[in-house]
Amino acid sequence: MLDTTTALSYRPLLISLAYRMLGSLGDAEDIVQDALADYSLSTNRSEIEHEKAYLVKMVTNRCLNLKQSARKRRELYVGQWLPEPAVRFAGGSGAPALLGQRDAVSGGNPADYIERQESITYVMLVMLERLSAVERAVFLLRETLDFDYDEIASIVQKSAANCRKIFSRAKEKLQGANVDGSEQAARGDLNVHEEQAWAFAKAFIQAAETGNSSTLVNMLAHDAVLLSDGGGKVRAAINPIEGAERVASFFLGIARKQALEGELLPVDVSGQPGVVLIREGIPVKVMVFGWDGESRISKIFIILNPDKLSFVTNGNAALS
């Protein structure tokens, strides 16, 4: 079997890579577990010169295969598809233990391994959906692992020159992630934005009580966009909601319908500030915020699909 030291050494990196390739913590965990298990049974391990690169290649290839097979399912997905949130609760604690027996098998919650990384925040994860599977792999290997093009070429089985072109093309497709300043803003002063996210969460509850949405509008960028993902399993907006007035009205409406009843807690979601709504000990909603260059909220992502919230538990438990 693969020695414990190796498994613990490479697991965080492999989980992070697989999560950013797939946008799913569950799939990332399964792929890394399978890759490590297969590697432990390999008969030619003594011939492998660079263990890290070899494991990265195993995981990347599995992710590419899964992305291809999941394309049809994605086309049939109800409404907007958003990446699964990797949640860390306020106060610096990691995400709480995984629900059920899976934790004992996997050796820990994969959300614990998703470190805050400046270049790949939740907004960027959403933007990565613009890329093909190979473009995504090349971009992540270059941008987050700093692999050279020869190393990347051996992993994706293309020439180094081709990989260089693929990376350049991917950067062009992702240009929108940086144009509005939300990525720089999220990195520039995350603590300030965590306070703003919490203030916004409290503001839309107050707006529901008073019927006054002007406070919300003032916190939003003029061209703010809201996307919500219910996966057809819970009620969610099917289409994007655009514009500060419409976004504020949306929050006012759901608050009046008591859709925000429960306990709201500030969280870090894949490197972006957000809040989680806990109801009767169960996470029912995660909201993630992105900022423009003027520190106004320009993007709001709401994840309601219960399948994508299975790695989140009550924040009070996490902080105790």
pLDDT digits (tens, 9 = 90+) for 302-314: 999 999 998 886 4
Q: Which residue's structure tokens are 């613009």?
A: 130
- Which of 66-74's residues contact partners 24+ apart within 8 Å by CB, and which partners? 66/22, 66/27, 66/31, 67/21, 67/22, 67/133, 67/136, 68/133
Q: To the nearest 10°, report the CA torsion of 93, 7, 83, 166.
A: 130
Q: State what percent of residues in the chain have pLDDT above 90.
A: 37
Q: State what percent of residues in the chain have pLDDT above 70.
A: 76
Predicted confidence (pLDDT) at residue 57 exceeds the cutoff of 90: yes
Provide the mean pLDDT of the chain: 79
d(CA 4, CA 14): 15
Handedness of CA 202, 206, 207, 209 (dihedral sign): positive
What phi and psi, each to the nearest 5 degrees, are found at residue 30? -60, -45
Q: Which residue's structure tokens are 């799939």?
A: 27
Predicted confidence (pLDDT) at residue 181 exceeds the cutoff of 90: no
Q: Are 194 and 202 a contacting pair, CB within 8 Å? A: no
For residue 182, give the nearest of 121, 99, 268 by alpha carbon.
121
Rg (C-alpha) for the chain, rounded Å, is 20
**Residue 81 buriedness (CB in 10 A; 0-12 / 13-18 / 19+):** middle
The model's pTM:
0.82
Give 85's Cβ-side CA count (13 Å radius). 32
* Confidence band for 105, pLDDT divided at 50, 70 and 90: very low
Which has more pLDDT, 81 or 313?
81
Question: In this predicted structure, what is the pLDDT of residue 103?
Answer: 33
Bridge partners (DSSP) of residue 286 are 276, 303
How much is the average pLDDT of 189-213?
A: 67
